[in-house]
């Protein structure tokens, strides 16, 4: 009787590290416009958004994570970031969907 060697057990490779998305690549042309009324009233602040970025780099979902304290600035951030494009997150060579924390700073200085 011939002995049959058992095939070595294979285990899936652990997923590779995730490279987070980017919104600052110059070719994306993501701009931020200061609301004119907020500028006149001296409103400043930081809005923090949770952005679900799809593998094609578009925004799939958007949530307000932290308010600036000024509804006008919050709405401007939501409206503008919704149209932004990202270099998507990647795991190895594959673009993947990814929840990303996007700060948006409205400052009258600089």
Rounded CA-CA distance 69/103 in Å is: 14
The model's pLDDT over 55-105, given as tens digits with 9 standing for 90+, comes to 999 999 999 999 999 999 999 999 999 999 999 999 998 999 999 999 999
Question: Domain 20-106 - what CATH class?
Answer: alpha beta
Q: What is the pLDDT, as a whole number, of residue 16?
A: 79
From residue 99, give the alpha-carbon distance in Å to each of 1, 25, 58.
58, 18, 12
Instruction: Return the pLDDT at 11.
Output: 52
Supply the pTM of this predicted model: 0.81
* Closest to 30 in 3D by CA, of 68, 75, 86, 99: 86
């Amino acid at each position: 009787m011939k002995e049959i060697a058992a095939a070595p057990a294979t285990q899936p490779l652990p997923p590779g590290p995730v490279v987070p998305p980017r919104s600052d690549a110059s070719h994306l042309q993501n701009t931020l416009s200061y609301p004119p009324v907020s500028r006149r009233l001296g409103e400043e602040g930081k809005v923090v958004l949770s952005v679900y970025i799809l593998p094609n780099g578009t925004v799939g979902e958007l949530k307000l994570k932290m308010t600036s304290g000024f509804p006008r600035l919050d709405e401007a951030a939501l409206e503008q970031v919704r149209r932004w494009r990202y270099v998507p997150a990647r795991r190895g060579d594959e673009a993947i969907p990814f929840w990303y924390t996007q700060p948006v700073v409205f400052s009258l200085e600089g």
